Structure 1
Amino acid sequence: MRIAVTGSIATDHLMVFPGRFTEQLIPDRLARVSLSFLVDELEVRRGGVAANIAYGLGGLGLDPLLVGAVGDDFAEYEIWLKAHGVDTAAVHVSGERATARFMCITDEDANQIASFYAGAMQEARDIDLRRVLDGRQRPDLVLVGPNDPEAMVRHTHQSRELGLPFAADPSQQLARLDGPRVRDLVDGAHWLFTNEYEAGLLLARTGWTREEVLDRVGAWVTTLSAEGVRIDRAGLPVLTVPAVPDAPVTDPTGVGDAFRAGFLAALARELPPVAAARLGCVVAATALSTVGSQSYRIDRDHLLTTAERAYGTAAAQELAPALDGTR
């Protein structure tokens, strides 16, 4: 199964605040907030949702096609991605703007405050999937991840026009997208990905009920942080998969992307949704224990050991064939 991953490619600047954000907020002064956090640590890491997911897919033995826009500072990052199994031939390089920047502060309760500079990502709207896919193996799925809003709409429309199944993952861009655009991005998706907060925001933006969303997508996958994952499908029982228990928490950045990589890799190997969610949770737990979105290592034995501890021997055995191609 060939997966084209569209979305952001960025550099992450990750900082750690040795305290709690909530202790710095004065309830009756929230209308005028002016805060500065003195941080103890700074990590500069490779990131961006599309690149993070592609990294995980590459490590799991797939050959994902990364589709996004970067600056001319991308050369070293590109070498890294290629070394981890990612096809970067469809990445657009801007001659004017730098690669996008994600800046995030995490407190001791794993709460985060972040900002994102789009940079070259603004030019992703100029990427034509028809031209990108011309002469290449036709993908079996296009993931439309958070990106320049016009790019997200264009990639969704072109997936429909080309008859390509697509997954909708609006993620952080739900805060920027209006109702008509969100409805457009979701309608007809084979898979819809959100976290629990984004699920509520999506319903508010679209004006749809949960049932109306499910009438328009194949399945809705909602990550629930430490509670695991819920998969909703119209007319079928809800599927729930718990998270890996007692997973060490080092840095939550990119954990959702790691989940998506594991989930999609399992689907690519024709595993059922529950098994896919379990692999997603196992990969997410591995990513959670490292700093940065692409610092975790895909190790078959480690993943299977984690899966057996979390879900039992039979579940681990079910996942084993899906991990035979890990790098």
Structure 2
Amino acid sequence: MRIVVTGSLAYDYIMDFPGYFKDHILPDKVHMLTVSFLVDSMRRMRGGVAGNIAYTLALLGDRPLVVATAGQDFGEYRALMERQGIDASGIRLIDDEFTASCFINTDKANNQIVAFYTGAMAHSKHLSLLGLGLGAGDLVIISPTDPEAMSRYAAECRAQGVPFLFDPGKQTPRLDGEQILAGLNGASVLVGNDYEFAMMAQKTGRSEADLIGSAPLAVVTRGSEGSVLYDNAHASEIAIPVAPIADVVDPTGAGDAYLGGLVFGLARGLPLDVAGRVAALAAAYAIEKRGCQEHSYTVAEFAERYAAAFGPSRAIETWAADGVTR
């Protein structure tokens, strides 16, 4: 199975606010909100949803193809992706633009205020999945990027009979109801957190239950409460616990790592409960490091930690024994 990852490529500017946002926001004055948060630190790191998902897939031993756009400042990032084992041949450089940039400010309660500069990402709507030789045995991940691009990729997958996963993610506020429904149409997997599902329901006029039932597999992540996999093909719900975390350092990118782990498990044909736990553990690694692509592990280390967190799994043991290492 070829895994194609579409979505944003970006530089993340990670900032830490040493207090709580709620202490500086007056509810009765939000109609004229003006606040400034003095942060303790800032680092520029590799990010973007497509880059983060592909990074996790590569750590787990896959070689995903990334289809996305980046700017004139992307050279170092691309070189690191290729060294990691990611196929960057589908990335188009836009010479007169900068790579998209995400400015993320996190407070002591792990609440986040995010601003996103589109940059080269706006050109992703001109990319196409046609001509990649994809078929029914492959999987395309449609993750947050330019809304027109997301709709286009879904339409091209349907036209070619290619299974696809739809993850509106942080683009949910910008997508209108028709764009969300276009992404849902024919999706094999629908992924979102509980807030995003509520927002999708509001925008489409459908209930959350209807949305969850619209794809053969729907995944709802609930932060510290874990996640739920709705196997609609077999009318079952699978609760996935969070993996034990040594230290909560930075939640940024945890959702992308989760999705990368989930897709890896699905592509490998792992049982859904195992695939969900792989996803949870992949997210744990991301949370324990500052930045989205600063953590690392070998297949053996991952398998050992999986057993410690969730108990032994023959599927994981077999995968680790294949000798795939990073």
* TM class, shorter-length: over 0.9
Which segment is superposed worse, 46-55 or 245-254? 245-254
Aligned to 1:77: 77
Is residue 321 from structure 1 mapped to residue 318 from structure 2 by the alignment?
Answer: yes
User: CA separation in 2, counterparts of 1:145 and 1:289?
Assistant: 23
What is the rounded CA distance, in whole Å, between the counterparts of 1:196 and 1:212 in structure 2? Answer: 14
For the residues of structure 2 that align with 1:82 and 1:113, how far apart are their CA atoms?
Answer: 31
The Cα of 1:321 is off from its aligned counterpart by 2.8
Match of residue 156 from structure 1: 154
Q: Is the 8 A contact 1:223 1:229 kept in 2?
A: yes
Is contact 1:2–1:138 with CA below 8 Å preserved after alignment? no
Ranges in structure 1 where 5+ consecutive residues have no aligned partner: none
- The structure 2 residue matched to 1:203, chosen from 193, 201, 204, is 201
Is 1:191 the counterpart of 2:189 in the alignment? Answer: yes
1:255 maps to what in 2?
A: 254
Paired residues of 2:197 and 2:208 also in contact (CA < 8 A): no
Q: Deviations over 1:50-79 (max 9, x none)?
A: 011011111111110000000121111000
CA shift at 1:188, angstroms?
Answer: 1.4
Corresponding residue of 2:58: 58
Q: Distance in 2 between matches of 1:285 and 1:267?
A: 19
1:161, 1:102 → 2: CA distance?
33
- The residue that corresponds to 2:29 in the other structure is 29
Instruction: Output one character per residue of 1:113-158: Cα deviation in whole Å (capped at 9) or x when no partner.
Output: 0110110001000002114x15x89871000110001100111100
2:145 to 136, 144, 147: 147
| Aligned residue type for 1:243 | V
Taking the aligned partners of 1:138 and 1:209, their CA distance within structure 2 comes to: 30
**Paired residues, number:** 323
After TM superposition, what 4+ stretches of structure 1 lie above 6 angstroms from structure 2?
136-139
1:238-278 C-alpha deviation (Å, 9 max, x unpaired) = 11011013442001010011111111111111101110000
Identity of aligned residues (%): 37
Say whether residues 1:274 and 2:257 are aligned partners.
Answer: no
Match of 2:16 in 1: 16
Quick check: 1:265–1:322 contact (8 Å CA) kept in 2? no
Q: Which of 168, 171, 183 is the equivalent residue of 1:170?
A: 168
Partner of residue 105, structure 2: 105
CA root-mean-square deviation:
1.6
What TM-score, normalized to structure 1?
Answer: 0.95
1:291 alignment counterpart:
290
1:275 corresponds to which letter in structure 2? V
Judge conservation of contact 2:220–2:227 (CA < 8 Å) in 1: yes
* CA distance in 1: counterparts of 2:268 and 2:171, whole angstroms: 29
Residue pair 2:69, 2:93 contacting (<8 A) in 1 also:
yes
Q: Is the 8 A contact 2:136 2:161 kept in 1?
A: no
